[in-house]
């Protein structure tokens, strides 16, 4: 069985903010990356960002020009599914929709016949066991090589990779995923497949509680954020962080926790839901809890 050291080419499926970052760190770790997306616009944006970030790294003396050029040359951008065929590892980072992940993993299992090719997903909330079952329905045995490889945003900066084993994931696939994350310069930590894994199981209820505190008039967002940054040494307060993640994503993850853990204490705060209904989704729409137009 190939080891993490022998991975030559990673196919990154979905070239949005996460997929683009994953392709970038693969390339800077000496691994070829095939960036696949259904939207040419996402690929163009990812390519422009890669060029900008590498140029900045050279400018700041964090990277040699030759290394930056080689890394950029290691990334190909494509809307053609078949171009991924040569990869020996896949990281799926497409839009967070269970129906879409199902469709993608059926097709990945059919495309990647070689049982040594790991089919990883960067999902932040969807069950790995469920995604494994999708792969299994595409090809018998493929569920064993499906695993959660959960990077954090922004990928080139954040050290953590949460490695999530589904019910059918083998120990060998888990170990190889941990090894590959280390090769990509990350600190991996393993978790089992329960709703929200570890990161969102712990983080999201805290963010949700901050919305309750605001709704009940305990304090205002600026003060709540200041209390959490100055008193608990959090680098960002819960509202700043929620705006960065996207308030719609926060509601989505709370829904997954409430359903998956079958407990109403994980219901999204009505005030958080109202902001989403009003289109105030955070940084990406220019306004969430805070106003970024100012």
CB 46 within 8 A of CB 15: yes
Looking at the Cβ atoms of 96 and 193, the one nearer to ligand NAD is 96
Place of tokens 């990928």: 155
DSSP string, 33-59: EEEE-S-HHHHHHHHHHHHHHHHHHHH
Looking at the Cβ atoms of 152 and 290, the one nearer to ligand NAD is 152
Cα dist from 55 to 51, 60, 154, 274, whole Å? 6, 9, 17, 41
Residues near ligand NAD, by CB under 6 A: 13-19, 36-39, 42, 93-96, 100, 104, 122-124, 150, 152-153, 245
Catalytic residue among 50, 102, 150, 234: 150
Looking at the Cβ atoms of 43 and 228, the one nearer to ligand NAD is 43
Minimum Å distance from CB 152 to ligand NAD?
Answer: 6
Cα dist from 103 to 38, 82, 84, whole Å? 14, 16, 16
Cα dist from 213 to 122, 219, 237, 251, 271, whole Å? 31, 7, 13, 17, 10
DSSP 282: B
Minimum Å distance from CB 106 to ligand NAD?
Answer: 12
Cα dist from 281 to 205, 213, 222, 271, whole Å? 18, 19, 18, 12
Looking at the Cβ atoms of 116 and 285, the one nearer to ligand NAD is 285
Report the distance separating Cα 186 and Cα 130, nearest Å: 26
CA 178 to chain centre: 16
CB 26 within 8 A of CB 151: no
Minimum Å distance from CB 54 to ligand NAD?
Answer: 19
150 counts as catalytic: yes
Minimum Å distance from CB 218 to ligand NAD?
Answer: 27
Which residue lies nearest ligand NAD, judged by its C-beta?
A: 16
Looking at the Cβ atoms of 63 and 166, the one nearer to ligand NAD is 166
Minimum Å distance from CB 268 to ligand NAD?
Answer: 16
Active site positions, annotated:
150
């Amino acid at each position: 069985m190939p080891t993490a050291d022998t991975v030559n080419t990673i196919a990154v499926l979905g070239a949005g903010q996460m997929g683009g970052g994953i392709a970038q760190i693969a390339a800077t770790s000496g691994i070829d990356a095939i960036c696949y997306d259904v939207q040419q616009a996402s690929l163009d944006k990812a390519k422009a960002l890669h060029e900008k970030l590498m140029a900045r790294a050279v400018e700041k003396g964090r990277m040699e020009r030759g290394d930056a050029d080689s890394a950029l040359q290691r990334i190909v951008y494509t809307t053609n599914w078949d171009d991924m065929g040569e990869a020996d590892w896949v990281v799926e980072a497409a839009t967070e929709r269970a129906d879409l992940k199902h469709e993608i993993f059926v097709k990945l299992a059919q495309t990647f016949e070689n049982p040594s090719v790991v089919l990883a997903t960067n999902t932040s909330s969807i069950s790995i066991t469920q995604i494994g079952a999708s792969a299994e329905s595409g090809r018998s045995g493929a569920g064993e090589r499906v695993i959660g490889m959960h990077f954090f945003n922004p990928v080139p900066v954040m050290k953590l990779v949460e490695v999530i084993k589904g019910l059918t994931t083998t120990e060998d696939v888990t170990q190889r995923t941990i090894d590959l994350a280390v090769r990509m310069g990350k600190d991996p930590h393993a978790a089992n497949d329960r709703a929200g894994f570890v990161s969102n199981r712990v983080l999201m209820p805290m963010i949700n509680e901050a919305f309750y505190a605001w709704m009940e008039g305990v304090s205002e967002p600026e003060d709540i954020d200041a209390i959490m940054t100055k008193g608990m040494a959090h680098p960002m307060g819960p509202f700043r962080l929620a705006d960065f993640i996207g308030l719609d994503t926060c509601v989505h993850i709370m829904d997954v926790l409430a359903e998956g853990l079958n407990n109403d204490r994980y219901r999204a705060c009505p005030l958080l839901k109202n902001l989403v209904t009003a289109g105030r989704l955070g940084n990406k729409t220019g306004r969430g809890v805070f106003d970024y137009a100012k």
